[in-house]
Structure formats: C-alpha cells, structure tokens
Structure 1
Amino acid sequence: MSRRRRSTEAADPQGLIDVLPLDGGQAADLRESGLLDLALTHRSYSYENDGIPHNERLEFLGDAVLQLAVTEKLYADHPSLPEGDLARRRAATVSARALAVIASRLRLGEYVKLGRGEDLSGGRAKVSILADTTEAVIGSVHLACGQDVSRRFVLDLMSPLLDSDEFLESSYDFKSRLQEIAAASGLTPVYRITETGLEHDKTFTAQVSVEGVVSASGEGHSKKDAELAAAQNAVRAILAERGETLIPRG
C-alpha cells in the first residue's frame, strides 16, 4: 500500500524577517505593511484559496529594483569595463540560479505559501519559484521601506555573489560569448554532433567550427551539454591566445 505524500504548511514569516538584512525599524515597517505575506504567496496558493492576491506583481517590481541596484553597483565598481563585460556580470548576478542561491541561504522555501499540488511536486526547492519569490520579497521591501533601503537590501543580499569570480565563471554563457566573438568577424559558429554508446547511456560529442576550421570539441550526456562543453573549450582557447581573462576585473 503506497503512502500519500503530505503537503507542508508555510513557516511563520517572522522567522524570515529575523534573518533579512534590515534594522529593527525597517523590519517592523515590512511586517506591519503586510507586503511580505503577499510576497510569499504563490499563484498556486491563490488558485486554491478563492483567487486571493499573489506575488507576481511584487515580483515584477522587485526585478526592476534588483536590476537597477546591481547595475549601479557594477558601473561604480568597474569603471574600465566595457558594456559587454558589465552586462555579462549583471546577467550572472541577477540570474534565476543566483537568486535561488540567495533564497536557499535564507531558507526562503520554508516560508512560501504554495498550493497543495505545487507543494507535493517539490515546489519549495524549485529554482524558478525561489528566484521569483526572492524578487517579490525585494519588491515588498521597496514599497514598505523606500528606495534607499531597498537598494542597500539588494546589495547586502547579493554581495557574496557580486565579486565572486568562481560563481561568475560557473554561470558564464559560453555559447553566447563564442557567438559574439565570431560575429565580430562576420562569422557564425557551426556545431556538428556525433553520438556513441547504448540508447540509454549515450555520449554526445560536439565539434564547433568557425569558417570551416574546427575550433574545439566537447562531450556530454546530451546534445546541449556537449555543445556547451565545446563552446567553453573554444572560448577559453581563444581568450588564452589573445592573452585575455575570462572574467575581466576592470
């Protein structure tokens, strides 16, 4: 006889308030505004509870607050970096993966109000839900405490990642970077895939070439992973030949 999985109740948001980078007065403003409770209400919970308001509008606002705060910080901290390098740093820092890392450190998943189905399917650990809820929390702080506080709030949250070359490298979009390098010469990378192994355990090999010359190859257990590996090897080789670093400091 199979056991039925049980959904879990969201934890008291006071526990979250206690670990947010806010002072006592700011935390009180956030709590009394009721906006944090809204920020933690997922659409699936709304659907199962008579369509009560959910957090997507706050998520929309929080995304804009996050983007501006991070952009200003990168612009000030890296005065010699060109726009392309700044954009790559920002993209990595505000990505869903980065926001999910921050959410995990706050144990944010414990506080999200989810519908039963979403909860049972592991919603509290889903990257998309954690990232979206983080943006909604940022939006709630912005409305409850004002622009200056929300900017500092974002930078306090994101500071562990803003200057982490290790994290930036792990989030680097090698395929897009190779595309940019090739496009600068009016060229386009071309990928060719081969596969080996049994149907249930295949290994894919990708060769990427520019103008018919094989630049690099890579392997993976999916075509996508193989292409990413090939692009990574190509970009690293090109930058090494140019004497450039993957993550310029500026």
Structure 2
Amino acid sequence: MGVHAEHRRVVMGLEVLRVPVLRDNYVWLAHDPASGETVAIDPAVAQPVLDAAAERGWQITQIWNTHWHADHIGGNAEIKAATGCFITGPAAEAPRIPTLDRQVTEGDSVMLGEHTAYVLEVPAHTAGHIAYHMPGEPLIFIGDTLFAMGCGRLFEGTAEQMFANMQRLSHLDPETAVYCAHEYTQSNGRFALVAEPDNEAIRHRMAEVDVARSNGEATVPTTIALELATNPFMRARNASELAERRAAKDAF
C-alpha cells in the first residue's frame, strides 16, 4: 500500500483512515459506522480531507486539534464551512485557534458516537499540546509529541516536560496504536541508530522501514510497544539524556 494510498484500520467498530497531505503530514479520519460520525484529526488542509470522506460517503461531523501549528489547523475553517462540523482543541492554545467550538484540558473527554477519547496534556512541542486517547480501542492521536522513533522538537517547552510525556505514554497499553501526524520515521531511525548503536531492535526496524519507504509505503501508525523498543526519546533514562538526544537530533 503506497504512502499516497489509504490506510484503513478497523478497531472496535471504528474505521481509521490515513489521508496524506502536504509534504509529509498525515490527517486521520476516524469513522464510527454505528452513529455515522466522522472526526478529522489535525486537518492541515481541507480539500483532500473532504474528498477522502466523500469518497466513502462519510460526513465529517467533528475536528479534533492537538495544537495550534498551521499544518494541523489549516483546514479547519474550510471544512467547517463545508460541513458545519464541531471543532475541539486545546484550551491553552485557543487564542491561536480561532475556529474552536470547544476548549478542552487534561481529563476532559470527547465522544465519537459511543466511543470516548480522553484528553491528555502533553506540552513541550507547543505549550498547550494535547492528545486524544481512546483506551477502549486502544489508540491515541498524538499529534507532534511522539513520532515513530522520535519526538517533537521543543519549540515551546522543556526537555523535562517531554521526558514526562514519554514516561506517561510508556505506561499506556503496549498494544496502543499511535497515530502521529508526520512521516518522519526514516530520518528518525537514522538518528536512532547513532543514539543507540547496539540496539538490535532499531537495526531490525530500520531495515523494514527502508524497504517500506523505497516502495513508497507509509510507516505509521506505530505502537507503544514498538516505541519502547526502538525510540531513543521514549527510552531516555532521564530528562538530561532526552535533552542531549534532542539537541543532537536537531543538529543531525
């Protein structure tokens, strides 16, 4: 399945579709057949997302934003104008996301049909970054906090915050599917090989990633278990080590 083809995964009655946009962004559509509801997570642009939904006869009823960056909210207004959807996002970043209908914080929940997603505050990439965790599936829409073999740059937060995020995520169900918003796996993996040169799991994973990418295939979603084995940021022993690794990756 090519990177520009769809990813479809059915979990506990939900169907999750990957929509590749821009250079390396992924917008996720989660559809609940029982209620007919569809949520778009972090729509960078509108038309490809609207088209992907229309092709399947889905009506976008919600948007969930994880943070304020333009490549995560750029499609909000146009999708809302086309569908009348309801937009949820982080309260701490509401001034930077003018399309929000609901502002959420840690411990709040959002519903997709009868499926519940809990809001987790995971600041560091941005000051108010959140994630949407569905433990019943299990899956998490993590935005730019956790990537396959990587983590988000520390634009508005600290290594201590990102280390706390990694520790928190590491305690989720290992089988949790992690839906991140970018195809960064290959570049992350090249750094991971340097950060942990003796890690056989990273070498094995990178061999698979290189084949997948050479075939134009996507490498996400990932899982918590896979990240625990191969992600040098999730595996950092303390905030200082994470900070050193993040600085090294920024210059890599």
TM-score interval for Structure 1 and Structure 2 normalised by the shorter chain: under 0.3
Larger radius of gyration: 1
TM-score (norm 2): 0.24
Instruction: Select the structure that is richer in helix.
Output: 1
Instruction: Select the structure that is richer in strand.
Output: 2
